[in-house]
Amino acid sequence: MNPLDVLRDAFYFFRRNLGQIAQLCLPLVVLEALLQQGVSSALGADAFPGYGVVVGLLLYPLYTGALILFLDARTRGESPRTRDLLAMSLSLWPRFALLTAVSTLLILLGLSLYFIPGLWLMVVLAFAEYLLVLKGMTPLAAISESLRLSRGHFLRILLCILAVMAPLWLLKGASETAYPEPLNPILSLTIDSAYNFLQLFTSVVLFRLFMLISEQPDRR
């Protein structure tokens, strides 16, 4: 289970299905960025950052849940309609939003404790979303099972996450340097939407890793 093989397989899938993924997720990603921009504009730069998290909870579970359902369907050779995926994702929204809220709070708390605990939580909770969407688990059960599944695979998961997110963090930093505040609203919306959409590649990578680890013999 070489991380490079996981990344290669995920990149091949993402490139091959880019049009369908964009059709499924990009409108919601743009809407999320637009809402974030509106909240920031209305409340000012010094507003409590929790408002941005709340906006994310409205739309992130919808497009991420739909993407996970799409990934699962494509691995089984199926081609579901966009509206069907979004409808199924909408039915999962309450549980997914709760899971996202709990995971985000835990990771932010961990990051505030000298960063390392937050990074550890980011890794061990990496499979919770897939367990909730694909296995029908409750948020707490998905978190517990993700902790179990990630045991013995910490470094693989960490490398896969960093291989995707580190270049994106650098890209975001470069864009902020090249286009300092205040930005033209259209340019800001374009940059934020592109950055958030590219982050979806992380979901593709972790889905591939989740499938490989799930296929291994039970180690309870």
**Per-residue pLDDT tens over the stretch 138-165:** 999 999 999 999 999 999 999 999 999 9
Q: Is residue 207 part of a domain?
A: yes
Average pLDDT rounded to a whole number, residues 8-28: 96
Range of the domain at 174: 3-214
DSSP per-residue string spanning 152-220 = T-HHHHHHHHHHHHHHHHHHHHHHHHHSPSSPPHHHHHHHHHHHHHHHHHHHHHHHHHHHHHHTSPP--
Q: Is residue 15 part of a domain?
A: yes
How many distinct structural domains can be found in the chain?
1
Instruction: Encode burial over 162-171: b for 16+ CB neighbours within 10 A, e otherwise.
Output: ebbbeeeeee
The answer, yes or no, to whether residue 218 has pLDDT greater than 70, is no
Q: Is residue 220 part of a domain?
A: no
Q: Is residue 219 part of a domain?
A: no
Q: Is residue 159 part of a domain?
A: yes
Average pLDDT rounded to a whole number, residues 13-38: 94
Average pLDDT rounded to a whole number, residues 194-205: 96
Q: Is residue 87 part of a domain?
A: yes
